[in-house]
Amino acid sequence: MSVEGVSAIFGRVLQVGDVGSESDFFTLGGDSLLATRVLSAVAREYGVELSFDDFADAPTPAALAERIASLR
C-alpha cells in the first residue's frame, strides 16, 4: 500500500505522466467515468471497494491511499 501505487493508477487512467501525491484527480482532467476506473483498479490491487463518494472526498493519491489504508 503506497501513495506511489495510487499515483500510478491515476497516471494510467488519465494517461498522463508523473502524478504528484497532492494532485486532484478532477483538476487533472478526470471525470466520473474515469473515477470508476480508478476504483476498479484499487479494488483489484488492494482488495478495497470504495464508493464514488469516498473518491470525491479523497481525490488525491495521498488522501485516497490514506482512505484505502484505513479500510484494509
- Contact residues toward other proteins (CB under 8 A) are 31-43, 49-52, 55
Give dist(CA 58, CA 65) in Å, integer: 9
**Amino acid type, 29:** G
Q: Choose between 2 and 32: whose C-beta lies nearer to other proteins.
A: 32
Q: Is 35 in contact with 25 (CB distance < 8 Å)? A: yes
Q: How far is the CB of 2 from other proteins (least distance, A)?
A: 20
Q: How far is the CB of 33 from other proteins (least distance, A)?
A: 5
* Site of grid cell 498522463: 16
Give dist(CA 36, CA 50) in Å, integer: 9
Q: Choose between 12 and 69: whose C-beta lies nearer to other proteins.
A: 12
Q: How far is the CB of 11 from other proteins (least distance, A)?
A: 15
